[in-house]
């Protein structure tokens, strides 16, 4: 049972770290978009407008940002679920140890 709890803890920490990493990536993209725009050359800006601007399609960066935000939400939910699951298992383990 201890090995199982250790594995759950490692998984939880990994998911938390991954969520923080994704949050940093999403935050970095938002800062780039809010900046002075120097990060994107005129040619890249023209190409982006041609790709998505003609038929009302979304900017690929906006789509990627939306996907990352959804992924972050899923990871946060998974972390929360795993932590609740670990707490429940610990409670069950304590009950079974007390019953002996």
Count of domains forming the chain: 1
More confident residue, 55 or 78: 78
pLDDT digits (tens, 9 = 90+) for 3-41: 887 888 888 888 888 888 877 777 665 555 555 444 445
Print the domain residue range for 67. 2-99
**pLDDT of 84-98, one tens digit each?**
999 999 999 898 888
CA 32 → CA 8, 11, 36, 42, 56, distances in Å?
36, 32, 8, 15, 23
């Amino acid at each position: 049972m201890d090995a199982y709890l250790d594995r759950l803890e490692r998984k939880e920490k990994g998911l938390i770290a991954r969520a923080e990493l994704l949050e940093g990536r999403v935050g970095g993209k938002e800062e780039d978009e809010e900046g002075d725009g120097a990060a994107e050359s005129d040619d890249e800006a023209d190409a982006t407008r041609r790709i998505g601007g003609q038929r009302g399609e979304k900017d690929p960066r906006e789509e990627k940002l939306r996907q990352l935000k959804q992924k972050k939400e899923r990871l946060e939910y998974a972390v929360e679920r795993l932590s609740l699951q670990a707490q429940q298992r610990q409670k069950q383990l304590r009950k079974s140890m007390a019953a002996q």
